[in-house]
Chains A and B, each alone.
Chain A
Amino acid sequence: MLGAEQEIVANQIESGQVRIVFWPMLDHGNASLNAHAAADCIGRQSADAFWQVHDHFFRNQRDLWQAQRDYFVATAIDMGVDQFEFQACYDSGLGHATVTELDSIRRGLGIFNRPSFDINGQLLIGDQPYDVFVRYFEAASQ
């Protein structure tokens, strides 16, 4: 999600009303797996860096199809995390194993549509405008 997310961040996240939990869906083979693993390895050093790379990857989706290890290492450096710590995580397969497990849990929950959102237990499927999220937030807060 990126479309409505910036508005949600500005209005609901900053005010402390909502928090967003990102759950990886590995729907495009190794390209998905490597990108999410890289994000996970960056996030292990800094949650703020995770959200930076999260936004960066969504804005540069085309790069990810052909992205190799060097691309992710360069991205990790750009995000301000330690290069060698990132490489150790990425090369060990720790990030890959973590996101694979999360994806497996997601499948077990029966969530197959991309994107899908869970708002305090209410499932919302597909890309939605900001207004729809606001309605769900209001329903969840009552």
Chain B
Amino acid sequence: MRRIALIIILALVLVACGPKDEPLPTVTIQEQPTNTMAPETIVAETIAEEPIDNPTPTEPPPTFPPTASPEASKTSLPVITPTEAVVTEVAESSPSETSEFNGQYENTFFRGSSNAPITLIDYSDFL
């Protein structure tokens, strides 16, 4: 009976020692998660960069106000008038030609004489 008991104890000891060798494979399993985490962090970095690029397309609107100053319009508009004045002078030099009344100038329409000294530009919407 003692021999049988010893054999059983030895068998139990062997069984108990057996699982102690298994942790080695579990170590390799634990390494795998660390490898898969690395790409995730890379993706996260690239996603984080995108919001930095997004603000630039929305930047143009803020650049409008400086160019939209009334002074800019005042300085730009007279540029149209001198060119018209040159055309008028040429027309006056030829006695056969008379001033045009109601006409078209550079895709706009004017009402009155092309020789009129005062130009009123009317910025309006029909609606």
Residues of A within 8 Å of B118, CB to CB, are 12, 17-19, 119-120, 137, 140-141
Residues of B within 8 Å of A111, CB to CB, are 73, 123
Residues of A within 8 Å of B122, CB to CB, are 1, 5, 20-23, 115, 117
Pick from B81, B107, B126 the residue with the most CB of A within 10 Å. B126
**Complex contact A47–B102 (CB within 8 A):** yes
Nearest CB of B to A109, in Å: 4
> Is residue B97 contacting chain A, with contact meaning CB distance below 8 A?
no
> Is residue B48 contacting chain A, with contact meaning CB distance below 8 A?
no
Report Cα–Cα, A5/B3, bound state, in Å.
126
CB 8 Å contact bits of B85-127 with A (1 = contact, 0 = none): 0000000000000010011110111111111111111111111
Report Cα–Cα, A102/B115, bound state, in Å.
23
Report Cα–Cα, A61/B124, bound state, in Å.
12
**Complex contact B116–A47 (CB within 8 A):** no
**Complex contact B74–A117 (CB within 8 A):** no
Nearest CB of B to A4, in Å: 10
Query: Considering only CB atoms and an 8 Å cut-off, how many residues of chain A contact the other chain?
Result: 60
Residues of B within 8 Å of A141, CB to CB, are 117-118
**Complex contact A21–B108 (CB within 8 A):** yes
**Complex contact A22–B113 (CB within 8 A):** no
Report Cα–Cα, A19/B109, bound state, in Å.
10
Query: Which of A21, A48, A118 sits near B73, CB closer than 8 Å?
Result: A118
**Complex contact B126–A117 (CB within 8 A):** no
Task: For chain A, residues 7 to 44, give those with C-beta under 8 angstroms from any C-beta of chain B.
Answer: 8-9, 12-13, 16-28, 31-32, 35-36, 39-40, 43-44
* Cβ-closest chain B residue relative to A133: B120
**Complex contact B126–A57 (CB within 8 A):** yes
**Complex contact A47–B103 (CB within 8 A):** yes
User: Given A19-B113, A51-B111, are A119 and B127 also a contact pair (CB < 8 Å)?
Assistant: no
Nearest CB of B to A29, in Å: 9
**Complex contact B120–A47 (CB within 8 A):** no
Chain A residues in the interface with B (C-beta under 8 A): 1, 5, 8-9, 12-13, 16-28, 31-32, 35-36, 39-40, 43-44, 47-48, 50-51, 54, 57-58, 61, 64-65, 98, 101-102, 106, 108-112, 114-123, 133, 137, 140-141
Chain B residues in the interface with A (C-beta under 8 A): 67-70, 72-74, 76-78, 81, 99, 102-105, 107-127
16 contacting pairs across A/B (C-beta < 8 A): A18-B116, A19-B110, A19-B120, A20-B121, A21-B119, A22-B108, A22-B109, A22-B110, A23-B122, A47-B103, A64-B126, A111-B123, A114-B125, A117-B123, A119-B121, A120-B78
